Structure 1
Amino acid sequence: MKVVVAGANGTTGKMIVEKLVKNGHEVYAIVRKPEQVETMEQLKARPILADLTEDLSSSLQKKDAVIFAAGAGGGAKPEQTTAVDRDAAIHLMKAALEKGVNRFVMLSSVGTEQPDKGPEGLQHYLQMKQEADAFLLNTELDYTIVRPVTLTNDEGTGLITVGKTVDYTSTVTREDVASTIVESLETSNTSRKLFEMTNGDQSIKEAVSNL
């Protein structure tokens, strides 16, 4: 598939790009800074130098899928979080609809169902994720929304638990999230589904195929 990845230079985004390339996909990586272009080329992806708030319709021409893995990051100002986690996501969804790119995989977060009950300092972030997810759920796009618990930088285990709700006090590795995102893209039964995930006791392939 020809896959566009938003947030390609993030820690999880790079892992997604690497795994997509390894699986034989043609990856188009959206990056914001010129110095990030070389990084994507080293990963054997095709960089797209652009800001996510720009018109990205031309970048989606003749593509098969979009993965949205972008985020303003911890410590970002509320306006940055709004611009990236909600507005940029919706902007890309609209571009996908315009260009007929039907497949859209969203990296979201647990806690988006009740943002006001989230940890102090994360409530606005969760609210923006909720609004982006809500927009996607109401489109005609063939979506998959993946909501992981707290991310760690540990080595991936290849084992996860998925469901409508999971243990919010648990953690999951970024590598396992990246693998789950790619598996979700490649597995047909994830069509128009939303699920939460944590590290667990099922192989990623098995957990995703049983959704």
Structure 2
Amino acid sequence: MATTRVLLLGGHGKVSLLLTNLLVKEEGWHISSVIRNPSQRDEILELGKGQKGNVDVVIESLEDVRSAEQAKQVLNKTNPDYVVFSAGAGGKGGPSRTYAIDRDAAKHYIKAAVETPSITKFMIVSYIASRRNRAPWWTDEDWESAEHVNREILPDYYKAKVEADEYLAALAKKRNEKDPQFQAINLRPGSLSDDPATGKVLMGKTPSRGKVRRGDVAAVAAALLKRNDASRWIDLLEGDTDIGTAVENVIKNKVDCIEGEDLDRIYSLAD
């Protein structure tokens, strides 16, 4: 059986490094890690040494991606089965850099990947409050907190992320009309912490506020990538349920946190 190949955009991020380690060590997959800074290459390559899988590094600046055609060149070079977009400006470089990476590069890679038949999954790592409407399960306090973050604290990050999230949903819906097997997974964690992973989470219809450990985010991402029925928006916080059980419950109960959004408007973005 051919080795599963993953293109990981934003490969030096903390969640990405943890995810790379999991996928090469436990799954034996091949990771093509896209980074901007060549000085980070050795650290990433080290993750593949002596493991079942392997790692290679692609030096590309997401900030400079101007079109889906440009993104397609990287896809052609790496030939992935799955694409994971876990990149972000991280608040550095001002609004222009945030839009260039979190919105524009994400959308270019989404378009290029969705239009490539051999790519069967696209995962984007977003954040829990990236939505335009109040989630039906949120309390008043949840909604007020999300609005405060999105309108007053991180307005440019919010605008960039929500556009990318909606674009993936729209293009995936269009591809699914001809290819129902394609998976678009939107993983939406709360505030990230570096505390040791617990292997326990709260997934699905969660509050809008709270923390989650990066190691647990990576473990959930790996668990979702291994499935062929995980296409949906999935909110994620710290919790008390084992990750395997939490993932199974979300899938079994058909929980999709896109619920409450204007789906007609979102899906029209693919027209």
TM-score interval w.r.t. the shorter chain? over 0.9
Separation in structure 2 between the aligned mates of residue 181 and residue 40 of structure 1, nearest angstrom: 18
Corresponding residue number in structure 2 for 1:124? 156
> Does residue 1:42 correspond to 2:22, yes or no?
no
Q: Which runs of 4+ in 1 moved over 6 A?
A: none
Separation in structure 2 between the aligned mates of residue 25 and residue 133 of structure 1, nearest angstrom: 26
* Counterpart code for 2:35: V
* Counterpart code for 2:212: V
- Please state whether the residue corresponding to 2:18 is helix, strand or coil: helix
Corresponding residue number in structure 2 for 1:153? 194
The runs of 5 or more residues in structure 2 that have no matched partner are 49-54, 134-145, 176-181, 251-271
* Counterpart code for 1:185: L
> Does residue 1:18 correspond to 2:16, yes or no?
no
Cα pair 2:202 2:239 within 8 Å, conserved: yes
- 1:109 to partner: Cα distance: 0.4
- Please state whether the residue corresponding to 1:188 is helix, strand or coil: coil
Corresponding residue number in structure 1 for 2:241? 202
- Please state whether the residue corresponding to 2:31 is helix, strand or coil: strand
Q: 1:173 aligns with which of 197, 213, 227?
A: 213
> Does residue 1:73 correspond to 2:90, yes or no?
yes
1:137-183 residue CA offsets vs partner (Å, 9 max, x unmatched): 0012520101111110100010011113x123321001111111111
1:111-135 residue CA offsets vs partner (Å, 9 max, x unmatched): 1114981422312211211000000
Q: Which structure has the larger Rg?
A: 2
- Please state whether the residue corresponding to 1:131 is helix, strand or coil: helix
Q: 2:73 aligns with which of 55, 58, 61?
A: 58
Separation in structure 2 between the aligned mates of residue 29 and residue 167 of structure 1, nearest angstrom: 32
Q: Give the structure with the higher percent strand.
A: 1
Corresponding residue number in structure 1 for 2:232? 193
The runs of 5 or more residues in structure 1 that have no matched partner are none
* Counterpart code for 2:7: V
Separation in structure 2 between the aligned mates of residue 156 and residue 48 of structure 1, nearest angstrom: 28
- Please state whether the residue corresponding to 1:40 is helix, strand or coil: helix
Separation in structure 2 between the aligned mates of residue 179 and residue 148 of structure 1, nearest angstrom: 12
1:29-71 residue CA offsets vs partner (Å, 9 max, x unmatched): 0011111221221112110111224323233233200011001
Cα pair 2:9 2:84 within 8 Å, conserved: yes
Separation in structure 1 between the aligned mates of residue 208 and residue 22 of structure 2, nearest angstrom: 26
Identity of aligned residues (%): 31
Separation in structure 2 between the aligned mates of residue 204 and residue 176 of structure 1, nearest angstrom: 8
- 1:79 to partner: Cα distance: 0.7
Separation in structure 1 between the aligned mates of residue 92 and residue 148 of structure 2, nearest angstrom: 16
* TM-score, normalised by the number of residues in structure 1: 0.93
* TM-score, normalised by the number of residues in structure 2: 0.73
1:79-138 residue CA offsets vs partner (Å, 9 max, x unmatched): 111011111111111221343213101100011114981422312211211000000000
- 1:28 to partner: Cα distance: 0.5
Q: Give the structure with the higher percent helix.
A: 2
* Counterpart code for 1:30: V
Cα pair 2:199 2:243 within 8 Å, conserved: yes
Separation in structure 1 between the aligned mates of residue 45 and residue 115 of structure 2, nearest angstrom: 28
